[in-house]
Amino acid sequence: MAPPAVTDLTKREREVWSLVAAHLTNKEIADRLFLSVRTVESHVSSLIQKLDVADRRALARYPGLAPVGGRWTGSRWPAPASSFIGRTAECTALREAIAAHRMVTITGPGGVGKTRLALHVVEPLAAMRRDGGCFVDLVHVSDPAMVLGAIASAAGVVAPVGGSLADALSTVLAGSDAVILLDNCEHLIDAVRDAVARLIRSCSSLAIVATSRLPLRAPFEWVFPVPGLSLAERDGDAARLFEERAQSAGVTVPLDAHQVAALCASLGGMALAIELAAARCPALGLDGLIAGLDQRLRLLTLADGGDRRHGSLREAIAWSYRLLPAPDRDLLATVSVFAAWFDVSATLAVLEAGTRRFDAADSLARLADHSLVLVEPGQPTRYRLLETIRQFGAEQLNALGRSEKVHERHRRWCGVALAQLAQQPRDEAWCERLDDLAADARAAVMNADSTRSVPAAQQAARLAEQLAGQVLLRGRPQEAQSGYEQAAALDVDPVQRARLLRLAAGAAACSLVGNDTLRLLREAADQALASGEPCAAAVDLAARVMFVRWAPGILASPPERGADEVWLAEAESLAGDAAAPRAVIAVAAALGLPDDDARVDALIEQGITLARQAQMPLIESVALDRLCASHLARAELLRSIEKTALREDLLIRQGLDASTAYHFNDYLLMASELCLAAGQLESAAAYADRLAALDCYRDYPHPALARRIKVDAMAGDFQAVVERGEQFLAAWQRAGRPVSGTLGVTAYAVAMVHGMRGDEARRRQWIELTKTLTSHAVPLNTCAWAQAMDALLALDRGQPEMAFARLSSDVDDRSVWSSSVLRMWRPWYAALWAESAALVGHSSAAGRLERAAAATRENEVAATIVRRAADLLAGRPSSLREHSNIFLRLGCDYQRRRTEALAHGGSSPGASSSAD
């Protein structure tokens, strides 16, 4: 008998099943669902029987249940280092609150156990939602502007092309049935409130849970205060926690229940305070702990009659701190400067010179024994302070009067560590290391900014610049832009400020936010003028004009009509006879002229000469790109490719950084498109792969995938098209679903391939995506590239009459080929335009073949299609073998297969088309 539908299972069975799929043990499932282990075993056995699977492993893999975590892969739920104890009532109440309210804030003093409670309740709830959920730890986020970025990173959402991260996040998560857990929000209340408000408004199925020491004070918020652990002498949660942690620390004798209850009561039931006390129990015993806590808690508890639990936690940390020998106390205060994980080498870097490595390591070990630092064994072993303890240590560092010197050494360590990291391969391990270093570097910069010390600010400016450069290569250009702007704000030298603002402008262009590029170049010009450098200001102003005319696609809001002319005139007034501004002005002027204007070549020649004189290879690269466009307008594909190769030589010598990143993107993208237009399929694929490999675009793979997919489609690697199409779709969605006509060509290519494989449902879906991507472009029924792909599909299906009717535009009608995108499809279109006429025996076939031969002269694949059509029209099937060999040599396997089908009397590659 067939197993029942998954939907027939009970809610409890689905809960158990979801946790089995998450590879939890029966004991862990029992703890999560508040069941006995025997009950869980019964449910698992029943599921195995009902679903007719062999064993538990097969049950975990059984289809029909959305995987735990759904499609959100950007975040991992933290793995608890110890068991969760008690809080049965709080867990039940919290589940009910989350079910009834879309936004719940778990509040309470530091150390009360907010995070552990939240994880224990929220993670299994996320496992049962369609899209799962994610954990966002804000403890290392020191800049309020980075809150949305932290949420986006955890949810796997990247900044959109030319738009805002906030809009992308709202768009991507709009229909998600998921739960987000925001942890440690208290230092970012306003920013978290704003982020949550946006998500609540735009994402109707999303639930949000936050942990914070104080409420967000938002109208949609349900506040869930967490009390201390229950203090019952027998079976109280506080007593159970203390006994288990004390046993873990090494206590082997039975503990007096009355004394344990008294100790926990004196600690106010605070989880962290209890754990700190339990860690000392083997050395001091219960009586020593109680005596010590009484002596230290009394003053703080009775000072103002305030929150006894908060006082107990603070005094527990202070008491543990005072039990340390003086060197260990100093070390705890010193390492409080670290915002993330650190090792012994890092510790030595912030200590006074002369400290022995063994002494530092030994002291860290003792801090770990006192539960004052977390330990991550490894090579090397790393340490981290909980935020509450880190803040306590920072207070001690200030009290010792050493804060300024230690922070200076910390900034220096960050700089050295970033410099060393810059020399290492940029693999996944590099990314993880940079993420940790970035948390420290940001905290170091923020600390210097708050001191208002000029030397500290200058040091922080260099550190912010250094971090921004690495973050850009991490694939986060928007964060790099922010870092460069922060560095510019800290630097007191207007010359350096102008330089940093130019780097910020480059990072903005890299992230395809052109309006920020224009703003930052204006600010750079103002700084240059303030420092008495009018020529530098002229370069910045002319560069603004150049970007407006060269890269209009990255401008969300184009400037007012005529604004570029005003900027160019201002640049002219400041330039004098200097080569640098004159070079940019000449290239900007050429970019503003139509292709057939006789002045273009002279201006470009002038710009290149001056750019070489001023040693400005990026300006020379833009000039070459303008020449490339002129050649393309004259159907000179090979000359366009030559100019792109010259750009490559220039840029490779410069290396990848904020100033060059957009230029690399542009030349690789154009090179792939031009090689495809010229039928150089292997080169087109190689350029697309190189674009995908750019470090600065590791989070933006869809533009590179878009180019590679078109190459695969025209070459005939249909399986690659389908696989990369799904990758493209996922990446495009993560980027916020940006609208782009060039991406629409890719979507239509995927639709064509699905049609050739006989999957009409997927073909229709990709056509709808094409319409979304080209909403502002030429309608598909009159678009030449869409006509060409429809003709390819019709010919594949053996319908040459349909292909002939679809190719209604004349190959020599200049109005049809008005844009560069359309011009690059003209050779392919011309070949199919002639072939369809030949196959249907139309009276225009001979004339079409002659004109198509001229239009395809620089695309050997398309030219071979035309020659094949001429042989078919002339009744020379014996020549087809030669054409098949040419297609094989050119890497166009689809046309090779099609040629062989035609040689055997067919018109389609047939089964081979859908099988590949």
Domain limits, the chain? 6-61, 88-225, 237-323, 324-401, 778-915
| Alpha-carbon separation of residue 97 from 34, 93, 131, 219, 798 (angstroms) | 18, 6, 20, 16, 62
DSSP letter for 3, please.
Answer: P
Q: Where does residue 689 fall: left (phi above 0), alpha (psi -120 to 50 degrees), or beta otherwise?
A: alpha
Mean pLDDT, rounded, for 299-306: 35
- 312 pLDDT tier (thresholds 50, 70, 90): very low
Note the helical H segments in 551-616: 563-575, 579-591, 599-613
Tell me the residue length of the chain.
916
Give 857-904 pLDDT, tens digit per residue: 999 999 999 999 999 999 888 888 899 999 999 999 999 999 999 988
- Which residues neighbour 131 within 8 Å (Cβ) at sequence distance 6 or greater? 66, 70, 71, 72, 176, 177, 178
Q: What are phi and psi of 815, to 5 degrees?
A: -65, -25
Three-state DSSP at 104 gives strand
Residue pair 312/268 in contact by the 8 Å Cβ criterion: yes
Beta strands in 184-227 (DSSP E): 207-212, 222-225
- 52 pLDDT tier (thresholds 50, 70, 90): confident
- 829 pLDDT tier (thresholds 50, 70, 90): very high
HSE-CB of 513 using CA atoms within 13 angstroms? 22
Q: What are phi and psi of 772, to 5 degrees?
A: -65, -45
Beta bridge partners of 269: none
Q: Where does residue 87 fall: left (phi above 0), alpha (psi -120 to 50 degrees), or beta otherwise?
A: left
pLDDT at 235: 76
- Of the listed ranges 38-47, 67-76, 209-218, the least confidently predicted one is 67-76
Give 551-602 pLDDT, tens digit per residue: 988 887 889 999 999 999 999 999 999 999 999 999 999 999 998 888 999 9
Note the helical H segments in 474-511: 477-490, 494-510
Q: Would strands 382-384 and 222-225 be described as parallel, antiparallel, or unpaired?
A: unpaired
More confidently predicted of 701 and 280 = 701
Q: What percent of the chain has pLDDT over 70?
A: 90
Beta bridge partners of 633: none
- As a dihedral over the C-alpha atoms of residue 228, residue 232, residue 237, residue 239, rounded to 10 degrees, the angle is 100
Q: What are phi and psi of 207, to 5 degrees?
A: -110, 145
- C-alpha 785/C-alpha 752 separation (Å) is 11
Whether 88-225 and 6-61 are alike in CATH topology: the answer is: no
User: Which of 726-747 are b and which e, b meaning 16 or more Cβ less than 10 Å from the residue's Cβ?
Assistant: eebbebbbbbbbbbbbbbbbbb
- C-alpha 635/C-alpha 858 separation (Å) is 9
- C-alpha 238/C-alpha 226 separation (Å) is 14
Mean pLDDT, rounded, for 364-368: 87
Q: What are phi and psi of 410, to 5 degrees?
A: -65, -45
- C-alpha 182/C-alpha 208 separation (Å) is 8
Three-state DSSP at 611 gives helix
User: How many of the other CB atoms lie within 10 Å of CB of 703?
Assistant: 26
Domain spanning 88-225 has what CATH number?
Answer: 3.40.50.300
Mean pLDDT, rounded, for 345-363: 93
pLDDT at 162: 63
pLDDT at 222: 95
pLDDT at 315: 63
- Of the listed ranges 89-93, 141-145, 318-322, 516-520, the least confidently predicted one is 318-322
Mean pLDDT, rounded, for 170-195: 89
CA angle 597, 602, 606 (to 5 degrees): 140
Q: Which fold has domain 6-61?
A: Arc Repressor Mutant, subunit A (1.10.10)
Residue pair 73/156 in contact by the 8 Å Cβ criterion: yes
Residue pair 661/477 in contact by the 8 Å Cβ criterion: yes
Orientation angle between helical segments 826-840 and 860-874, nearest 10 degrees? 10
DSSP letter for 382, please.
Answer: E
May I ask the CATH class of domain 324-401? mainly alpha
- Asked if the model's pLDDT at residue 448 lies above 60, the reply is yes
